[in-house]
Amino acid sequence: MTQKQILIVEDNELNRTMLSEILSDDYKVLEAENGQEALDILEQNKDDIHLILLDVMMPVMDGYTFLDKIKKDEELALIPVIVMTQGDSEADEVTALAHGATDFVPKPYRPQVILHRIASLIKLRETAAMVNQYRYDRLTGLYTIEFFYQKVRECLEANPEKEYTILCSNFENFKWYNDTFGREAGDRILVEGAEIFQNRVGEDAICCRYGADRFLCLLDKERERIGRECFIKGRQSKRSELLENMSVKLGIYEIKDRTISVEQMCDRALWVVDRVKGMYNQNIAVYDDAYREKLLRENAITDVMATALEEGQFIVYLQPKYSLNDNRMVGAEALVRWIHPEWGFMSPGEFIPLFEKNGFIPCLDQFVWETVCAKLREWKEKGYPIVPVSVNVSRADIFQSHLTDVFRGLIRKYGIDPQYLHLEITESAYTEQTDQILNTVVELRKSGFFIEMDDFGSGYSSLNMLSQMSLDILKLDMKFIQNEMTKPVEKSILNDIISMAHRLDLTVVAEGIETEEQMKRLQALGCDYAQGYFFAKPMSVTEFEGLLEVQ
């Protein structure tokens, strides 16, 4: 262990040498002849001096002036100072303590007393520093999470009847901000955010920093409403220009169940804040049991999904697409189904978004694509009149692997023509306009695959963008069509979209056609193909093969 360093400030050379000798076995010693010299030394060795032994009467700068100066400096003020007083003068002792000395020793020196006092003061200071480190977050000065848990526990125990809320705040896009403007700017946001947070929730609230950019606080239920608005208002307050472009999300857990641990209570506030993450117009989420159920269900699904795939619980269904010209079946879409031994039939609407979130979707899609390719191969061998089958491609598929190689590999493996495999990519993936998606699509088309833009009209893409995108087929979103159908013909933009798509050489497919009326109207508008319950629901492969045979 490196030796601790002690600064002796004393004008009398004899005394200095004597002290230095007493200490030099256990410590490294620095010497100064007066207060000014001592300040200079401190300036150089700020973090490295563990204690100061200070004489009072000195030329140039006396001991009290020196004490006054170092007590004004945030860092220096923490160094313990032992003042050496003349004899047992009570007046001297009191003055020394009043100027902020930690302790005093009378002259003449008694080496053992000095050594013991020094050792215990250094120890004390280290313990205090450790406690502080454990209690306070270095950057923001708020409590650390461990100390926060302890304080919250104490507060709840002391006030069993009172109602409390745990509030979690999270900066939206903080990581992006940090990357773009640098760590220092990010730190400033956090420091300022912490200050506002504490200010708005009030002095009584117990606040801490949880991880990078999240704060937690326990507050009185009555103050909750004020707390809820704290950050949202904080954005408009004058002193937070930095925060102006930062959106803040709040997660709220109203403590109803005191039997769960404080950690669990905080988890609930932390979970629920994710619910409004990325939402443009919603900043606050309140935890409720329904949300808990949803999370538990999601966890349960995540636990079993891989086994389910191995055990063959996922099944590919096919939904035919028909030509609106001559009612011929012109294709099909592969839609996955999950039949769980206990939970029964599960809708893709429940598990696909989760698999997109938890990263499982590429595994499942790989299985669906293989199944479809194997079927196409089988039909080819059996001499069925084959129609193209579309498979859904998720955003994550595009980012995960080299997609073109994957699909090229599949058609090679199963010896099928790429024109029979259509790839449906949802509109919102396109509108992100990332180069990777656009490049992948161009590559796939070059390799002979057909690209369909799925769910067109559900997002924000414009007609203008259509001309810039590489694709073959436009699939109109079901909700969009239904919505357009409620408008008078002249007000609907369906006509414009279909004409525009045709001008761009795109085939148009209408999805989710449920009634004859819808079918007739789309037919009149020149829509090419349709898919929906009016024609056929998604069906098992065997059933679908029945349709192929009668073609």
User: Which residues contact ligand C2E by CB under 6 A?
Assistant: 319, 335-336, 347-349, 352, 361, 365, 368, 392, 394, 424, 454-455, 478, 511-514, 531-533, 538
What is the rounded distance in angstroms from the CA atom of residue 72 to the CA atom of residue 11?
23
Structure tokens of 372?
Answer: 């479809």
What is the rounded distance in angstroms from the CA atom of residue 513 to the CA atom of residue 499?
20
Q: Which does 272 bind (CB under 5 to 8 A by kind): Mg ion, ligand C2E, none?
A: none
Q: Whose CA is closest to 360, among 442, 304, 402?
A: 304
Strands (E), 341-436: 344-346, 389-393, 421-426
Nearer Cβ to ligand C2E, position 336 or 525? 336
Nearer Cβ to ligand C2E, position 213 or 511? 511
Cα 512 from chain centre: 35
Structure tokens of 469?
Answer: 């995108």
The minimum distance between CB 333 and Mg ion, in angstroms, equals 6
Nearer Cβ to Mg ion, position 15 or 482? 482
Nearer Cβ to Mg ion, position 172 or 454? 454
Q: For residue 138, how many other CB atoms are within 10 A of its CB?
A: 9
Structure tokens of 324?
Answer: 């609106």
Which residues make up the interface to Mg ion (CB under 5 A)? 392, 424, 454-455, 511
Q: Whose CA is closest to 453, among 421, 477, 484, 432?
A: 477
> Which helix or strand (DSSP H or E) is residue 106 part of?
strand 103-107
Q: Which does 512 bind (CB under 5 to 8 A by kind): ligand C2E, Mg ion, none?
A: ligand C2E
The minimum distance between CB 331 and Mg ion, in angstroms, equals 12
Nearer Cβ to Mg ion, position 224 or 511? 511
Nearer Cβ to ligand C2E, position 189 or 536? 536
- Classify 211 as helix, strand or coil: coil
Nearer Cβ to ligand C2E, position 352 or 386? 352
The minimum distance between CB 330 and ligand C2E, in angstroms, equals 15
Q: Which does 335 bind (CB under 5 to 8 A by kind): ligand C2E, Mg ion, none?
A: ligand C2E
What is the rounded distance in angstroms from the CA atom of residue 407 to the CA atom of residue 285?
42
The minimum distance between CB 389 and Mg ion, in angstroms, equals 12
What is the rounded distance in angstroms from the CA atom of residue 267 to the CA atom of residue 121?
40
Task: Check if the beta carbon of residue 315 is closer than 8 Å to that of residue 336.
Answer: yes
Q: Which does 352 bind (CB under 5 to 8 A by kind): Mg ion, ligand C2E, none?
A: ligand C2E
The minimum distance between CB 293 and ligand C2E, in angstroms, equals 21
Q: Whose CA is closest to 205, among 143, 251, 247, 267?
A: 143
The minimum distance between CB 475 and ligand C2E, in angstroms, equals 7
Strands 284-286 vs 214-220: parallel, antiparallel or unpaired: unpaired
Q: Which does 95 bind (CB under 5 to 8 A by kind): ligand C2E, Mg ion, none?
A: none
Structure tokens of 495?
Answer: 């006509």
Strands 103-107 vs 81-86: parallel, antiparallel or unpaired: parallel
DSSP string covering 241-294, please? TGGGG--EEEEEEE---TTS-HHHHHHHHHHHHGGGTT-SS--EEE--HHHHHH
Task: Check if the beta carbon of residue 162 is closer than 8 Å to that of residue 220.
Answer: yes
Nearer Cβ to ligand C2E, position 261 or 327? 327
